[in-house]
Structure 1
Amino acid sequence: MSNIVPAIRSLLFYLVFYLQTAVLAIVIGLIAIVARRRTRLGWALALYWIHSHILALRLIVGIRTDIAGEENIPDGPCIIASKHMSDWDIFALLPGARRPAFVAKKELMDIPFFGQAAMSFDTIRLDRALGSEAIPRMIEEARAASLVAPASSSSPRAPARRRWPTTTIATALSGCTRD
Structure 2
Amino acid sequence: MITLLRSLAYMLVFYGISVLLVLAALAAAFVAPSAVQPVATAWAYFHRFCARWLLGQKVRVEGDLPRGGYLYIVKHESMFETIDMLCLFDRPAIAAKRELFDIPLWGRVARRYGLIPVERSAGASAMRALRTAARKAVGEGRPLCLFPEGTRVPHGEAPPLKAGFAGLYALLGLPVVPIAVDSGRLSPRGSFLKRSGVITYKVGEVVPAGLDRREAEARVHAAINALNGPKEGHAPVRAGAQISP
Class of the TM-score when normalised by the shorter of the 2 chains: 0.7 to 0.9
Matching of residues 9-48 of structure 1 within 5 Å = 9-35=6-32, 37-39=33-35, 42-48=36-42
Secondary structure of 2:37's counterpart equals helix
Counterpart pick for 2:44 among 45, 50, 63: 50
Counterpart pick for 1:93 among 85, 96, 101: 85
What is the alpha-carbon distance in structure 1 between the residues aligned to residue 86 and residue 62 of structure 2? 13
What is the alpha-carbon distance in structure 2 between the residues aligned to residue 48 and residue 148 of structure 1? 21
Which residue of 2 is the match for residue 102 of structure 1?
Answer: 94
What is the alpha-carbon distance in structure 1 between the residues aligned to residue 171 and residue 16 of structure 2? 39
Question: Gapped runs of 5+ residues in structure 1?
Answer: none
The count of aligned residue pairs is 166
Matching of residues 136-147 of structure 1 within 5 Å = 136-142=128-134, 143-144=136-137, 145-147=143-145
Question: Gapped runs of 5+ residues in structure 2?
Answer: 138-142, 154-158, 175-208, 214-245
Q: Which has the higher strand share?
A: 2
How many percent identity over aligned positions? 25
| Amino acid aligned to 2:111 | M
Q: Which consecutive aligned stretches of 4+ in structure 1 deviate over 3 angstroms post-superposition?
A: 175-179
Asked if structure 2 preserves the Cα contact closer than 8 Å seen for 1:103 and 1:147, the reply is yes
What is the alpha-carbon root mean square deviation over aligned residues? 2.7
Secondary structure of 2:75's counterpart equals coil
Which residue of 2 is the match for residue 59 of structure 1?
Answer: 53
Secondary structure of 1:112's counterpart equals coil
Matching of residues 140-159 of structure 1 within 5 Å = 140-142=132-134, 143-144=136-137, 145-150=143-148, 151-152=150-151
What is the alpha-carbon distance in structure 2 between the residues aligned to residue 95 and residue 18 of structure 1? 18
